[in-house]
A and B are shown apart, each in its own frame.
Chain A
Amino acid sequence: MSTTDIIDTLAGIKPGSALDAIRARRLQARENAQKSYLALFEPIDASEFSLVERAAVALFVIGLHREPNVTAFYRAKLAATADGARLIEVVEAEIARGETSGPYGAYPAGPLSPENMAGLIYRVSAEDKSVLGARLTAAFEHAHLLVFRPRDAASADMKALLDAGWSNTGIVTFSQLVAFLSFQVRVVSGLRTLAAVNA
């Protein structure tokens, strides 16, 4: 592809390296991971989920993963979004409030109940709610659920997003964004670790 491959860039994979050759054997996966990124961050239609909202959620989600170079990438992305720079400080404060370790959460009552694990139920701080607004407040709280305790998700969480002004289509794209980033940051981390072992 003509566009810089984000995973290669963030994982530090150089053209012509052994890992570049291995990735080339899964060319469709590589190109479509990139296309997923482009579809989410340079969409045809941003009417249900604005570009600044996408970048703010991305910085929040990646910040919770504590992968510094990927976080820096999405921080720059938010800074470059119209009206995004003013949100960085607030998003970073919310990342600090939301930091924990997962996955945790509860299973449906039954034989798996002994595996239930309690953990942080994150809510945006009262002061940051007014800066983020209802839509992003609901998005951050739901994104935290998806990052750390996806098995706790319930139909009521969909209602919370709808009540905050998210459309059905917006919820699908938002869910894809959080889930895609969960994939992308792991591929980057895994490949970077492999490259470092081989260096």
Chain B
Amino acid sequence: MSATVNPPVAFTQDELGWVSWIDPLPEAELTERHFNGLVDRARAKSDYFRLLVRDPEVLEARTKTDKDIFYNVADGLPRAERELAAAATSRYNGCIYCASVHARFASTYSKRREDVQRLLDEGIKADLGERWNAIVKASVALAATPIAFGPSNIEELRRAGLDDAEIVDVINGASFFNWANRLMLSLGEPSK
């Protein structure tokens, strides 16, 4: 572990760093295969992505999955609520780094920074209004192992006004963060 790590001890919307516990690939060793895996060439500057690019095919597919689930907003759930699902999942799994990034995005897109902060401070039981409560609860039910998501979660999401395409976005967004959280938590640690 690097001596410079100053790990945060609470959930925050501040920008955090992330320090890898094992060696990323050196930038000078990246080949075309690796750049394809990075998808965005600028990611070669990031330790996290130069670590994951040790398996370029998996990283490429994962990155493209991520981008479509969160950024393809031609229809379905508003961006803010996809980020809310990501933040709630990260809060529940305990990923301080992922929660910081996606809480910040949820605040930016929803303009409800204080509500997002209450999710971070009070946890997944914070009362954020019917619609957000339903999204948080469904995300948390999906994150539990064994999975606790059931018909009652779908009924609650529908009562809160979500249609099936939006419910699929909740399922995708929350599920994806069970992938992301496990990488960020196990390969390194956040730093203030």
Contacts and interface: CB of A to CB of B under 8 A. Distances in A.
Given A28-B67, A108-B7, A183-B176, A173 B58 contact: yes
14 contacts: A26-B172, A35-B64, A65-B145, A67-B146, A67-B147, A102-B145, A110-B10, A150-B185, A151-B94, A155-B189, A172-B54, A172-B55, A180-B62, A186-B142
Contacts of B186: 142, 145-146, 150, 153, 157, 175
Interface stretch (A39-47, A74-82, A84-92, A127-135): A39-47
Interface in B46-98: 51-52, 54-55, 57-62, 64-65, 67-69, 72, 74-76, 92-95
Given A66-B146, A147-B145, A150-B185, 10 more contacts: A22-B165, A35-B64, A64-B145, A101-B146, A157-B186, A176-B55, A182-B182, A186-B174, A190-B174, A194-B167
Nearest to A189: B147
Interface in B25-54: 51-52, 54
Interface string A146-184: 111011010101100010000011011101101110111
Interface string A55-79: 0000000001111000000000000
Interface in B154-185: 154-155, 164-165, 167-169, 171-172, 174-176, 178-183, 185
A153 B150 CA distance: 29
A33 B76 CA distance: 19
Given A19-B168, A105-B94, A175-B187, A193 B176 contact: no
A29 B75 CA distance: 14
B1 interface: yes
A119 to B, nearest CB: 11
Given A26-B69, A107-B9, A194 B168 contact: yes
Contacts of A67: 146-147
Given A32-B64, A103-B144, A168-B23, A186 B52 contact: no
Nearest to A176: B58
Interface in A106-130: 107-112, 115
List 5 tightest A-B contacts by C-beta distance, closest first: A110-B9, A151-B94, A190-B171, A28-B68, A186-B175
B151 interface: yes
Chain A interface residue number, banded: 35 or more
A12 to B, nearest CB: 15
B154 A197 contact: yes
Interface in B90-142: 92-95, 123, 142
Contact of B61 (A39, A101, A112, A193): A39
Nearest to B143: A103
Contacts of A157: 186
B10 A111 contact: yes
Contact of B179 (A18, A22, A182): A182
